Every structure is written in structure tokens, then in C-alpha cells.
Amino acid sequence: MAKHRGKGISAIEYPTGMNQNGDPSQAWIKVKPDGRVDVFSGTADIGNGAKTIQSQIVAEAIGVPYDWVTFDNSNTDSSPVCTGTFASRATFVGGNAVLKAAKEVKLKLLEAAGKEMEISPEDLEINDGEVSVKGSPSEKMGVDEVAGAAAYGHGVLITGTGAQLKPYSEITNSATGEVDSPPHSAISYAACAVEVEVDDETGEVLVLEMTQCYDVGRAINPALVEGQIQGGAMMGLGLGVLENSYPYYPSVDHRGAQYNSYMIPSPLDMPKVKTIIIENPSADGPYGAKGIGEMANNSQPPAIASAVQDAVGIWVTEIPITPEAVLKALEAKNAGDDSVRRDGKLVSFDEELSVNTVASGLSWSA
């Protein structure tokens, strides 16, 4: 009996900005007479940093400091429509909505400034809270002065609205399923490489190192992006080796009845993690951003499965890869059985499986 080390890798892709059943986000923005900006969005921040990201997008698009922006998503009565915080859409879909609203606000600010400065709005620009003449930055007004003049001098409330909804994809060929446009707006890509140690006596799988590489389009807030990926690594580790809601599925016997009976990883279980962020901008995302939410915990389980195979020569094709599952697979291997279960049926690796199908996702696990 011994402990064996192995390495594995997985590659995944994830669509962002989908619409096959209506998936809108809306936003509206108003500028107060002191130049401060209020953003009203329906995007709920569930810890993913949506308020921060969308505020950054608004500040960048208008040309004011970040701390001038107040984000309000306090209730569904005053907030615009947002389908929800899911499907990695808060930055991509919600971000596009606030971006459109911010661009409209900027145009109205330039129009108001043009009147005050007696110059064409096309010859003006806004940077760091100041409206200045292009090529002559000394000729300028503060955004607060412009907003005040609009309110008290011209009786104008500077506002902007924005909405993001990808057109529905219509089927053009029912035989092939071909559609007139992709049902998604952008594709994110990721890869994960892990090193594991497998104890062939106890069946325990210990993940030692994990290197993750994510194409995020544009990292609007790199710290939040890395935090999302780090959190996803812990979730993916749990899905890969620990978390099992129904250990004897489809039977509900032995299902944990309390929170303390459901196993999740703790900081002590975390391996050495390295994160690589690649920026491959999306043409349709706000400032090139893609979604980096759910996909952050998708790549680890298949990479772990690949590493276990490298370590002890078995494929465990259902997650989590528990000691029990490892020992059963080792027992079958020692008995000369090279079959695995797929959708409840025994199939041969030679006929049905390959490294690529396993490493691209464990879609057949219960």
C-alpha cells in the first residue's frame, strides 16, 4: 500500500449574455446639481462585487471619480428591471445596461457644458470630473458646475437610461438546429491543472497544488476577479472530492439532515493555488469584460479526475471523488474490469470514453 502522485488538466468554456427566454437588465442614472451621480440598477449584489463593478463602469464612461458614484439597488419598487444575479450576467448584462445609461448622461453633460462655454459639445471631453476643450485643457468647467448650471440655469435634470437584451435566436433549420444568431454574446475559456496524492489503502484524494487560468475578457476590477476565481477554486475542490447531497442517489437514504452533516472544504483543505488571468476582450462586453462567475468552480473536478487517473490508473466518473469511489474503482481494476458506469450502465473505456470526454466535464455524474 502506498501513496501515489498524479497530475491532471481540464479545459472548459462558458457562454455569457444569453437570451432564450428573455433576459433583460435595465438601469437609469441621474446627476445631482453638485455633480454627484446616482445609479439605479436592479442587479442584486450577492457578494460578487456587482455594485463596485457597475459603479466603476459608470465612473469611467462619464469621466468622473469613482467616489462620486452612488449605487442604489435597495428595492424592486424603485429599481429598474433586472432578471437576476445568475448565469455570470451581473457584469456583462447589467454592466452593459449601466454603460448605455452612462453614455447618455455624458452626452447631456456635454450639451449643457457647450451652452455654458459657448462651444460645440463635440469639441469637449470629460476627465476626472472636469469638462475641458479638446486640445486646450486649461479651458474647463467642473462637472459639478455644469450640473448646477443645468439644474438652476436651464431647468434640466441630467438623466440617462440603458437596457440590455440580446435578441432571441430563431431556428432557421429545424433539421440541424441551426439558428440565425448565436444564443450567447461571448464565450469565456478556462483551464485548470492540479497535482494530487492518492492513498490506495484508504482511497483518500488530497489535492496538493492547483493552477487555474481564466480568460475574463477584461478584468475591470482585478482584485475582485481574482477573489472570484479563488472562491471558485474552493467550491470546485468541494465538488470534486467532498460535497455530495445524495450519496446514494436516486435513493434519499443517508441524506444529511442538518448543515453540519454536509461536508465542505475549509481553509485548511485548500491546496497551493496559482491564478493566471488572461484578458481577451469581448466585442460585446462592457469595456471588453466577459462573465467570470459560475465557471470559476467548473474546471477543478474534471482536472482532479484526470489527476487521479494519472496517479493510480483509474477513472472515477462521478463526483465527488470520495474514498469509497476510489476504492471501488481500484477493486474493479485489480479484478481486471476496465468498465465504468455511465447513466447507470456499464460501458467500456475503449468504446465510449477518452481522456478528453472526462476532462471536459463530468456531465454524466448524478
- How confident is the model over 89-133, as pLDDT tens digits? 889 999 999 999 999 999 999 999 999 999 999 999 999 999 999
Nearest to residue 89, comparing CAs of 44, 27, 40, 29?
44
Band of the pLDDT at 286, cuts 50, 70, 90?
Answer: very high
Among the listed residues 118, 294, 331, 351, the single catalytic one is 294
CB count within 10 Å of CB 297 equals: 20
32, 60, 195, 202 from 306: Cα distances, Å: 56, 43, 10, 19
4, 205, 313 from 199: Cα distances, Å: 6, 7, 13
With beta carbons less than 8 A apart as the criterion, state whether 68 and 129 touch: yes
Task: Render pLDDT for 258-268 as a digit per residue (tens, 0 to 9).
Answer: 777 788 898 88
Could you give the domains of the chain? Answer: 3-14+184-359 (3.30.365.10), 19-164 (3.30.365.10)
* Least confident segment among 212-216, 235-239, 315-319: 315-319
Question: Catalytic annotation on 294?
Answer: yes
Query: 232: buried, middle or exposed (CB in 10 Å: 19+, 13-18, 0-12)?
Result: buried
Tell me what the mean pLDDT of segment 35-61 comes to. 93
- Beta-sheet pairing, 205-215 with 272-278: parallel
Cis (ω within 30 of 0) for the bond into 250?
Answer: yes
Q: At residue 20, does pLDDT exceed 80?
A: no
With beta carbons less than 8 A apart as the criterion, state whether 29 and 38 touch: yes
Separation CA 247–CA 225 (nearest Å): 33
Report which DSSP code applies to 169.
Answer: P
